[in-house]
Amino acid sequence: MNVEVDGQKITLPEGSTLEDALKKADVKYKEGNAIGIFEEKKNHSAEETKKYRIITSKGEFQVELYDEDTNSKKRWINNYKDYETTKVQWVNNDALAFGSFKSNISPVHGLYKFEEFDVIFGTGGFDPDKTFLIFIKEPHKAEYGIPDDGSFAYVISGRKTVFDLDQSDTIDSIEPVVEWEEIGEGYTTSDLTTRVSDGNKIYTHFEVEIDPAAPEGAENFFALVNDGTFKIDLAASSFLADDRLKGEMSKYENFEPRHTGAVSIRTAGYGTGRTYISRKDRPSSIAHSVVGHVIKGIELIKMAKNGDVLSITTIPDQIMLLGKSFKEAEERLSRLDIELEKEGHTQDNAVIVSQKPETTIEIFNQGEVKSYGVPESHLVRIELFDELAPKTVDFFRHATRLQFKNVGELSVYLSYENTYIFKAELEAEKYKEIMPENTPTNKVNAGDIGITNQAAKRMGLIGVKTVDEDMFGPTGEKFTSTNIIGRILDLEKLKNLKEGDVMHITESSGED
């Protein structure tokens, strides 16, 4: 029997399972992640669709027709195959045009205002025999000799490809995209013993192209999916939502319609910090900043249900150098043709603790990044107790920026005898609760990280003792006022710290 795995066609014997299909397709699978299985109806016709896939010599992108019936829209539906093999005739910062070809357009004179990613027909010298298919890259006003019905479609995915095209490129093919709900049924499962059938289409992951208009929001999204997963905390008819960073602030940057596959972060109001993926078209919102678009695997998004954990990849990958050695950073950046400027301790084995620019988009735009290094002996590994003190660990990650970075900072506020008291970079206690949680009973072990909870006045102070203690917690408070949230794995590295110093920390498991 014939099945597809992420678009790869394979042949399997009757009675094969999902596990057999993944092995044959050489797909890596993370246990527990949901996989989509789609079964087409035996008899279906490809009805008129609103979406079309345009495959070019530089990659593909998709356009969607507007609902309004216009002559330009009809012209596209009846003739889109005629635009295959056309070349980029001209391109600039505002737009690019494929063509030319003959049409029955009646061009009108005058400047028109165009929005980003509009699709229009235009003419050269107002001559219908020189008609172009034009894609708008930036909002602007221009006179392209267009018909009076204006834009008939807009680019909904693969927008980076539109910006990459130049005069050496061509349209290779144009295909209608038929919505999967119209031609069959699908479901998700993590049971690899599930039998597959002839004609099944299997989806193991989805891909998101980061929107360059949201550099800071993209970093929030990278932090959310840095383990390669998107967790479905809420599945509604029009969206999926992952709540793992709910409550974290994200900058509003990109106001655009949330078309199917749009990835957005709520930046204000109830649910701030929640990340959404649109399953249906929705208008722009002043509370939702769009940070990316699903460019592959939208079928998996449409099949997913509450509780599913989906595999995800991003384009591009995040550039997060913190915690890496200069040697590791140089090897990666050289492949990306990005220049690295070293500061601080610059030996190959030095550990990077800061980078400028901080965002991946800005680094790609500038083609360079400045990084500050410290000796490996100055980076302290910690283990956090997520299961024992989840709320306080959330506070700690936020306060030290470990929620978004591989290396966090703690300033030495006070040190005496065998005790170190720290203050975090952010005063998260202003809006993060520190209720009593995992409070010690008989003893605090050397290296335990304690945080003063709301039962004491100095809430939010962070402390560590270098010896065992059976009277007071690491911040000098009573046990009932102390939450134990983790432990220092490199306790000996604290011995040279003094008041005012900054301790660089990174998360690690106790098994490392």
Complete domains list, the chain, with CATH? 2-47+179-203 (3.10.20), 51-177 (2.40.100.10), 205-315 (2.40.100.10), 326-374 (no CATH), 379-507 (2.40.100.10)
**pLDDT tens for each residue of 306-334:** 999 999 999 999 999 999 999 999 999 99
pLDDT band at 178 (very low <50, low <70, confident <90, very high): confident
pLDDT, residue 298, reads: 92
As a three-state string, the secondary structure of 364-423 is HHHCEEEEEEECHHHEEEEEECCCCCHHHHHHHHHHHCCCCCCCEEEEEEEEECCEEEEE
Residue 313's identity, in one-letter code, is: T
User: Is pLDDT above 80 for 121?
Assistant: yes
pLDDT tens-place string over residues 98-112: 999 999 999 999 999
- Strand 201-203 vs strand 239-242: parallel, antiparallel, or unpaired? unpaired
Lowest mean pLDDT among 127-131, 177-181, 188-192, 294-298: 177-181
Buried b (16+ CB within 10 A) or exposed e, 273-299: bbbbbbbebbeebeebbbbbbbbbbbb
What's the CA gap between 18 and 35, in Å, rounded?
A: 9
Element (H, E) at 296: strand 288-296
Kindly indicate the confidence band of residue 2, based on its pLDDT and cuts at 50, 70 and 90. Answer: very high
* pTM assigned to the model: 0.75
Positive/negative CA dihedral, 234, 177, 132, 79 = negative
Name the band, by pLDDT with cuts 50, 70 and 90, for residue 456: confident
Find out whether 37 and 196 touch, Cβ atoms under 8 Å: yes
Percent of the chain at pLDDT > 70 equals 95
Given this model, what pLDDT does residue 348 score?
Answer: 93
How far, in Å, are 176, 258, 259 from residue 283 at the CA level?
23, 6, 8
Cα 57 to Cα 82, 84, 85, 166, distances in angstroms: 17, 11, 10, 10
Query: Is residue 128's pLDDT more than 80?
Result: yes
